[in-house]
Amino acid sequence: MVTAPNGAITNAEALKKLPEIMYLEPTTQKVAEGAWCIGGYSVANISVIEAEDGLIVYDTGDNSEEARHIREAIEKISDKPIKVIIYSHSHYALGGGELVDNPEDVMVSGHPTVNDTVQANLRGGGAPPVYGEIGPVLTARAVVQMNNFLPEEGPDARLGGVIPFGLPATEAIYPPVATKDGQPMNAQHDYVIRMTKDQLPPSKAFWSMTLYDSANGFFIPNDRKKYSVGENGGMKLNADGGIEVYVAAEKPESVPEENWLPINRKDENLDVILRIYMPDLDKYKIWTPPKAEKLNP
Residue 14 is predicted with a pLDDT of 86
Instruction: Identify whether residues 180 and 264 lie together within a single domain.
Output: yes
3-state helix, strand, coil in the chain (%, to 5): 25, 25, 50
Max distance between CA atoms of the chain, in angstroms, equals 72
Q: Cα dist. 260→32, 85, 187, 198, 264 in Å?
A: 56, 40, 14, 21, 13
8 A C-beta contact, residue 16 and residue 1: no
**Per-residue pLDDT at 233:** 76
Query: Do 201 and 267 share a domain, yes or no?
Result: yes
Tally of structural domains, the chain: 2
What confidence score (pLDDT) does residue 241 get?
A: 95
Distance from C-alpha of 158 to C-alpha of 283, rounded to nearest angstrom = 37
pTM for the model stands at 0.58
Question: Residue 210 is part of a domain; what is its CATH number?
Answer: 2.60.120.600
Collect the ranges in the chain with pLDDT lower than 70: 119-136, 140, 148, 161-170
Let me know if residue 150 belongs to a domain: no
Q: Do the domain assignments include residue 153?
A: no
Residue 11: which CATH number?
3.60.15.10
161 in any annotated domain: no
Q: Please state, in angstroms and rounded to a whole number, the distance separating the CA atoms of residues 122 and 179.
A: 26
pLDDT of res. 130: 62
3-class DSSP string for 267-287: CCEEEEEEEEECECHHHHHHC
Domain, as residue range, for 116? 2-123
